[in-house]
């Protein structure tokens, strides 16, 4: 990966979508895509559109694209190409894979999730528990929104089968020690099941180094198309019995868990997104985002109450806060009217908001590497005016 300092203006020239007055701080809900991703999608539909297994040119191009997308997924996740799985989105993949692993579970088995999770890594387990008589436990978070590892460790037992947890919170930006939790899960004989949707645009993923068994993420959160991307260890993919139609191929391993025809044009966009990130360099992205995050935290007006860590240590640049005297919806609406795109509500982080005592949620501003210092300063000025 490149270690050259990031040039935000050069980055922004690659995004036609950014050529407008609206400042995008809505990355946690979905990022904009560079032009090369758009061109890859359109190019596939113009030149290669076909289904696989046909004895002709466009079908062979599509088969080559599918192979290329698995290699790109392997590069992005730090796994082998056969361990890559594609689906409609993270939540759909997670419901499918949790249902699959449920074939190995028995009444009384325990699933440990966390209060820091997006509900996409909670509700699939709650529904599975309802069907199979399982027990779902919640590891607590502290007042500063860091995950309480002591509480998590204390809740592990010889009946724990899965520990499901995020790499980074989509609500408050808190990072999690994914490798340490994987160690704790494995010591208890459980699987480490990671939601990396929010972490994807903010840092490097290496499932092998972290000791993760299953990981899910969403390319539309890291400058790609609306798609789901998953990983599971080869041993698990070989052992699990998938829900699939009978004629579907069993190779590569990840394909066993893909249902129906893949969205080939989106795979073309995914490959372009991975190559885009590699061209910018994740090291440069991390350093630049930290700089902008520090700028935001240093300038946040006293009228705003921040939820989560007060510095960039242990977090990504995603910030949940409320403005004194305004509901989250009112504050976000006024910012939107002034040209600053932010979110409001709970962003599917149900347990986080419950733990923080925020029934109406909070305003969320998320910084990614195509944001600029001027945009951050403008957002801070508007917050001060509110």
pLDDT in tens, 154-193: 999 999 999 999 999 999 999 999 999 999 999 999 999 9
Question: What is the pLDDT of the chain when averaged over all its residues?
Answer: 97
The answer to whether residue 270 scores a pLDDT higher than 80 is: yes
Q: For 234-267, how does the pLDDT look when each residue is reduced to its tens digit (9 = 90+)?
A: 999 999 999 999 888 889 999 999 999 999 999 9
Maximum CA extent, the chain:
66
Comparing CA positions, the residue from 301, 381, 363, 377 lying closest to residue 326 is 363
The answer to whether residue 55 scores a pLDDT higher than 80 is: yes
Cβ proximity of 36 and 17 under 8 Å: no
The answer to whether residue 1 scores a pLDDT higher than 50 is: no
What's the mean pLDDT in 38-62?
Answer: 98
Asked if the bond preceding 336 is cis, omega within 30° of 0, the reply is no
Using a pLDDT cut of 70, give the percent of the chain over it: 99
pLDDT band at 32 (very low <50, low <70, confident <90, very high): very high
Q: Write b or e for each residue in 161-181: b if 16 or more Cβ atoms lie within 10 A of its Cβ, otherwise e.
A: bbbbbbbbbbbbbbbbbbeeb
Cβ proximity of 137 and 125 under 8 Å: no
pLDDT at residue 31, rounded to an integer: 98
Q: For 85-124, how does the pLDDT look when each residue is reduced to its tens digit (9 = 90+)?
A: 999 999 999 999 999 999 999 999 999 999 999 999 999 9
What's the mean pLDDT in 358-386?
Answer: 98
Whole-angstrom Cα distance, residue 2 to residue 226? Answer: 26
Q: For 138-150, how does the pLDDT look when each residue is reduced to its tens digit (9 = 90+)?
A: 999 999 999 999 9
The answer to whether residue 233 scores a pLDDT higher than 80 is: yes
Q: Which domains are present in the chain?
A: 8-32+281-385 (3.90.1150.10), 40-277 (3.40.640.10)
pLDDT at residue 4, rounded to an integer: 76
What's the mean pLDDT in 210-219?
Answer: 98
Can you count the helices (H) and strands (E) in the chain?
14, 13
Comparing CA positions, the residue from 62, 68, 27, 301 lying closest to residue 170 is 27
What's the mean pLDDT in 204-210?
Answer: 98
User: How many other C-beta atoms are found inside a 10 Å radius of the C-beta of residue 66?
Assistant: 18
Question: Which has more confidence, 249 or 383?
Answer: 383
What's the mean pLDDT in 361-381?
Answer: 98
Q: Is 365 helix (H, G, I), strand (E, B) or coil?
A: strand
pLDDT band at 3 (very low <50, low <70, confident <90, very high): low
């Amino acid at each position: 990966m490149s270690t050259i300092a990031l040039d935000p203006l050069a980055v922004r020239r690659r995004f036609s979508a950014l050529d407008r007055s609206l400042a995008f701080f809505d990355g946690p809900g979905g990022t904009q895509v560079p032009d090369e991703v758009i061109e890859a999608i359109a190019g596939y539909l113009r030149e290669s559109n076909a289904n696989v297994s046909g004895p002709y040119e466009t079908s062979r191009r599509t088969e080559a694209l599918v192979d290329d997308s698995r290699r790109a997924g392997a590069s992005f996740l730090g796994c082998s190409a056969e361990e890559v799985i594609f689906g409609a989105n993270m939540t759909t993949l997670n419901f499918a894979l949790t249902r699959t692993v449920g074939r190995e579970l028995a009444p009384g088995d325990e699933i440990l999730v966390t209060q820091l999770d997006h509900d996409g890594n909670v509700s699939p387990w709650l529904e599975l528990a309802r069907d199979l008589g399982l027990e779902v436990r919640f590891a607590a978070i502290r007042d500063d929104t860091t995950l309480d590892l002591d509480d998590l460790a204390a809740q592990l037992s010889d009946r724990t089968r899965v520990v499901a947890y995020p790499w980074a919170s989509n609500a408050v930006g808190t990072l999690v020690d994914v490798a340490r939790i994987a160690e704790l899960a494995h010591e208890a004989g459980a699987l480490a099941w990671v939601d990396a949707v929010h972490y994807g645009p903010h840092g490097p993923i290496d499932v092998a180094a972290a000791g993760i068994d299953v990981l899910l993420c969403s390319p539309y959160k890291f400058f790609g198309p609306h798609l789901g991307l998953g990983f599971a260890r080869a041993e698990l993919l070989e052992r699990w019995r998938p829900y699939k139609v009978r004629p579907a191929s069993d190779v590569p391993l990840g394909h066993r868990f893909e249902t129906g025809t893949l969205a080939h044009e989106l795979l073309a966009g995914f490959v372009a997104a991975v190559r885009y990130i590699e061209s910018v360099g994740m090291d440069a992205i991390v350093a630049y985002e930290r700089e902008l995050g520090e700028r935001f935290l240093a300038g946040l007006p006293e009228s705003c109450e921040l939820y989560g860590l007060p510095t960039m240590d242990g977090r990504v640049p995603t910030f949940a806060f409320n403005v004194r005297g305004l509901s989250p919806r009112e504050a976000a609406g006024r910012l939107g009217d002034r040209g600053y795109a932010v979110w409001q509500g709970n962003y599917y982080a149900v347990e986080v908001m419950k733990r923080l005592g925020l029934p109406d949620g909070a305003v969320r501003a998320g910084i990614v590497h195509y944001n600029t210092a001027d945009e951050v300063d403008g957002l801070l000025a508007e917050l001060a005016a509110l």
